[in-house]
Chains A and B, each alone.
Chain A
Amino acid sequence: MPHLTKPILSLKQFILKQEVKTLYRHIFRAIRKVPDPAHRKELTEWARRDFRANANYTDEVTVRMYLRYGERCLRELETSLNLAK
């Protein structure tokens, strides 16, 4: 039985965490479609850095604010990808 290294989250926190993870996944899937590999690398570094820098907040409002910022970035990325096609 694996020992617990992390605290058990409440339902709200768990759902929030899931949302963050799905956003992260969507961003990476969008980055995959970028044609230029150097640009792709730069975008992945930027995404990882941003997510980890803001990873420590537990306050729901702050997390939701950053989630919205991330969703906006994702939408910009997707529109520029559609334009570049």
Chain B
Amino acid sequence: MSGIVKNIRALTRHSCYFRAYSVRPLAVTLQKSHTVQQEPVHQQNLLSYTQTRFYSPEIKKTKPSEEEIKERVLKVCASYDKVTADKRLITPHERSYSAKPPLTLKLISERVLLVLQLYDKINPDKLNLKSHFINDLGLDSLDHVEVIMAMEDEFGFEIPDADAERLLTPADIVRYVGDREDVYE
């Protein structure tokens, strides 16, 4: 590890040396550094004169010439499209809020039955609103938990454990969702 550090230090020292001798003047060197270029000096003195920063070549960009700048500005101005800019600046008169679809008890029961039909452990023939999950449909308590979680996913709100215990038929679930979503008929 220390060997690597030494090498890196040597490298930076050498690169600093190199920079001080390069033809292109560096913007960040101090005023004194031009005296350094005349004669070779000891490395320690070099470091004290030149407070050059050691950038890697990719980071240090070349400054664009005036011609280049002119070209680029003209290009941006030419591509300005007034029509789309106007459309963007004018505030839209219609506001878009997110909303849930309007729920009726019929719609809720359809959705509940659909989710249950898609559940692989339920036999769709035996499925109706009054069928008990555990007694009639033969699910066990873990399946019941999964079914309730599927309902949470479908209707988008969380059902606490205490309530989930009591929802043992699809009709219960429909009534519960209706109560939660304030659906009266």
Contact = CB atoms under 8 A, between A and B. Distances in A.
A62 interface: no
Interface string A1-13: 0110110000000
B134 A25 contact: no
B145 A25 contact: yes
A27 to B, nearest CB: 10
B141 interface: yes
B149 interface: yes
Interface string B119-159: 00000000000001011000011100110010001000000
B182 interface: no
Interface majority SS on A: helix, strand, loop or mixed?
Answer: helix
A24 B161 contact: no
B135 A3 contact: yes
Given A51-B142, A55-B142, A25 B149 contact: yes
Interface residues on A, range: 10 to 19
A44 to B, nearest CB: 9
A51 to B, nearest CB: 6
A39 interface: no
Given A21-B161, A22-B161, A25-B161, A2 B145 contact: no
Interface of B: 132, 134-135, 140-142, 145-146, 149, 153, 161
Interface of A: 2-3, 5-6, 17-18, 20-22, 24-25, 28-29, 32, 48, 51-52, 55
24 contacts: A2-B132, A2-B135, A3-B135, A5-B134, A5-B135, A6-B134, A17-B141, A21-B142, A21-B145, A21-B161, A24-B142, A24-B145, A25-B145, A25-B149, A25-B161, A28-B145, A28-B149, A29-B149, A32-B153, A48-B142, A48-B146, A51-B142, A52-B142, A55-B140
